Amino acid sequence: MEKEKFYLTTTLPYVNAKPHIGFALEIVQADVIARYQTLVGKDVFFNTGTDEHGQKVYEKALEAGTDTQRYTDELSLDFKNLLGELGVLPEIHFIRTTNPHHKEAAQEMWRRCDANGDIYKAKQIIKYCKGCELEKTDSELIDGKCHLHPNLEIEIREEENYFFRFSKYGEKLLAFYAEHPDFVVPDYRFNEIKKFVEGGLQDFSVSRLKEKMSWGVPVPGDDDHVMYVWFDALTNYISTTGWPEKEDFGGYWPGIQFAGKDNLRQQSAIWAAMLLSAGLPLPKQIVIHGFITSGGAKMSKSLGNVIDPLTVKEKYGTEALRYFLARHVHPFEDTDVTMEKVHEAYTANLVNGLGNLVSRVMKMAEDNLEGPVSVEDTPIEKDFRTQLDAYRLDAAFDLIYFHIQKGDELIQETTPFKKVKSDNPTEVAEGKEVIEKLVKHIYRIAEHLVVFMPETAEKIKEAVRENKKPENLFVRID
């Protein structure tokens, strides 16, 4: 029987600096869900990549004194290499917006919206935040600054560009939202975008003059303009499936999109309106996560307060980084992250928690059982699935740690390590029975752990199959 198809994508980060832990958060969150959906038997299409056009990228290449394509090649490779460092599924699709097929798809998206009468040329004066790459109204500014990029000056732009008739789609978007009450997760983000649309939509610019910013996809039929941001960057979600050649998207679209809260408008309103204009299906769901902050401020390249995920990985390992991002960073709210918090979680929960339990159980099994305990893979728990279906990675991980705690409690309550040393054969048999139960228990933990920490889960399973205490899963770091 053919498997049910499941599509999941992250946003594409700009290649205007090396990747930071905010990108690692989004890709790890999405990877956990992709692994979960694979585990329950679905045919998963998992997409990420790099957004390589636009003014910020062009200016960074100029600053570096290098060719723009060479600059994007190097930084795109940094992001692609990071996927392996984060333990992401090797089957992931990695799309670059400088890829020739993607550029052709972006032009086809433009043509379809243009054919629907939704693209026009006009001269306007706009207030523009380069950090957001969005036009801003006075009501969105605080003391004349964007609240997300207070270190950047708002630019006043006046030039003739192409615009998309966003204003045409307010009622259609609200109707779609009403028909799809789970379109944006969490609910309060959905309420936020509905309020934004209800306030009235303004058409937005979708091109720049080539003479001012040449690094972009050419506008079909007008060599003087290049696409700016939206028709280029957002179209990746469908071009990655083989569209427009595959008009059915290979059966994978529509799907799930992961994005940060600063992408709420772009994903759930701008992209949705473009799809309506082009006559294409809208996403099934958009999952909005919060920011990783540092000292209460958003961690971002422009603010210079970035934690390098490779620094965390090199000190604590890939699995520990995945653990921290999945359990200790809230899936929807902002979370303040410091290296001290990472160290505390690593020591308390991995070294002294999971690692210690597995070590104790398998040491008792290796010393006291005649051979490996018979185990079978079984379906994961319903409560665990419920939490992951709601994208509550932290709550799902808490269920795993509930069972780790239960394992520790069973050891303390039944003292099998004492009973197996007894002169009483009955007590020895009872001790061995408890040890077998504990071995099955940690194997069951590994079955659930596999979506979060696949290497650790496999090490636990291998230890059970071989009835051998593994090397310390997590080395104590001072």
End-to-end CA distance of the chain: 52
What does the block give as tokens for 320? 């520990």
Asked if the model's pLDDT at residue 147 lies above 90, the reply is no
Asked if the model's pLDDT at residue 172 lies above 70, the reply is yes
Q: What is the pLDDT of residue 299?
A: 65
d(C-alpha 195, C-alpha 475), whole Å: 50
Residues 318/319/322/325 CA torsion (nearest 10 deg): -100
Give Rg (Cα) of the chain.
Answer: 26
- For 16-27, what is the mean pLDDT? 84
Q: Where are the domains of the chain?
A: 338-466
What does the block give as tokens for 238? 């469908």
What does the block give as tokens for 210? 């080539």
CB 322 within 8 A of CB 453: yes
Asked if the model's pLDDT at residue 239 lies above 70, the reply is yes
Q: What is the pLDDT of residue 17?
A: 74
Asked if the model's pLDDT at residue 55 lies above 70, the reply is yes
Say if strands 285-289 and 256-260 run parallel, antiparallel, or are unpaired.
parallel
Q: How confident is the model at residue 89 (pLDDT cuts 50, 70, 90)?
A: very high
Asked if the model's pLDDT at residue 343 lies above 80, the reply is yes
Q: What is the pLDDT of residue 27?
A: 96
The whole-chain average pLDDT of the chain stands at: 93
Q: What is the pLDDT of residue 303?
A: 66
Asked if the model's pLDDT at residue 156 lies above 90, the reply is no
CB 231 within 8 A of CB 217: yes
The candidate with the shortest Cα–Cα distance to 262, out of 450, 133, 391, 452, is 133
Over the stretch 405-464, which tens digit does the pLDDT of each residue have?
A: 999 999 999 999 999 999 999 999 999 999 999 999 999 999 999 999 999 999 999 999
Q: What is the pLDDT of residue 300?
A: 64
Asked if the model's pLDDT at residue 148 lies above 90, the reply is no
Strand pairing partners for 122?
161
% pLDDT > 70, the chain: 98
Distance of CA 4 to the CA centre of its chain: 22
Asked if the model's pLDDT at residue 304 lies above 80, the reply is no
d(C-alpha 412, C-alpha 425), whole Å: 21
Asked if the model's pLDDT at residue 354 lies above 70, the reply is yes
d(C-alpha 384, C-alpha 389), whole Å: 9
Q: What is the pLDDT of residue 302?
A: 63
Over the stretch 189-214, which tens digit does the pLDDT of each residue have?
A: 999 999 999 999 999 999 998 888 88
Higher pLDDT: 307 or 253? It is 253
Q: pTM here?
A: 0.91
- For 380-397, what is the mean pLDDT? 97
Q: How confident is the model at residue 246 (pLDDT cuts 50, 70, 90)?
A: very high
Q: How confident is the model at residue 478 (pLDDT cuts 50, 70, 90)?
A: confident
Q: What is the pLDDT of residue 345?
A: 97
d(C-alpha 456, C-alpha 316), whole Å: 13
Burial call 58-90: b when 16+ CB within 10 Å, e when fewer? bebbeeeeeebeebbeebbeebbebbeebbbee
Q: What is the pLDDT of residue 139?
A: 67
CB 402 within 8 A of CB 408: no
Over the stretch 273-283, which tens digit does the pLDDT of each residue have?
A: 999 999 999 99
Domain 338-466 has CATH 1.10.730.10: yes
Q: How confident is the model at residue 110 (pLDDT cuts 50, 70, 90)?
A: very high
